[in-house]
Copies of this chain bind each other. A is one copy, B any other.
Amino acid sequence: MPRAGLTSGAVVDAALALIDEEGPGALTLAAVAARTGVAAPSLYKHVRGLPELRKLVGLRVMDDMAARLGTAAMGKSRDEATAALMRAWRSYVVDFPHRYAVFPDNPLLDPDLVGTATRLLEVILAVLRGYGLEGSRALHATRCVRAAVHGFASLEAAGGFGLDEDLNTSYEMLIAMVVSSLPRAPAS
């Protein structure tokens, strides 16, 4: 019997493939084992259990998003950067609708996730700093941007918007709303 040659990363890959193909509800150890050609208990050699697998999957999702957002905002500032950030966020959801559902609920409270989560927030904060926002004002503004963007993304990922017609137009309107109403300090 040849060895499967699994690694922790390969298990996460299989989990993501499963999620992409059959939705977040299909993520079971049994299914991952079947897909990787291994008996279910063998997975425990690479992953501590289902909760840890979920966490690793969530971490990958956050990582991918952080990379996308970072490059999207790169070289831009202010309104242009905000719009690019928001478009990149949604584009992830459009590309991987099922993945967005496994984005960790509360990454800031989990020591294993807080690093990546902070990196993600840092992207937003960096853009807001371009408006001259710092400290408390930047914090509140970050929350507002997160709320708008995450709200739209999660509703779209869940198919929550009824007819999917014209979602681009809706989102551009949301971007315009955010951009136009972000508190701003005078440009330096």
Q: Hey, which bits of chain A sit against chain B, CB under 8 A?
A: 105-109, 136, 139-141, 143-144, 146-152, 154-155, 158-162, 166, 169-170, 173-174, 176-178, 180-183
Contacts and interface: CB of A to CB of B under 8 A. Distances in A.
A151 B160 contact: no
Given A147-B151, A150-B151, 4 more contacts: A106-B158, A143-B152, A147-B174, A151-B154
Contact of A143 (B106, B109, B161): B161
B170 A144 contact: yes
Contact of A173 (B106, B140, B155, B160): B140
The 4 A-B residue pairs with the shortest CB-CB distance in the complex, in nearest-first order:
A151-B151, A147-B151, A147-B152, A177-B181
A144 B173 contact: yes
Among A136, A149, A170: residue with most chain B CB under 10 A:
A170
A133 to B, nearest CB: 11
A141 B171 CA distance: 10
A153 B46 CA distance: 36
Nearest to A159: B106
13 contacts: A106-B158, A106-B160, A107-B160, A143-B173, A144-B148, A144-B173, A146-B155, A147-B148, A148-B151, A150-B154, A173-B183, A177-B181, A177-B182
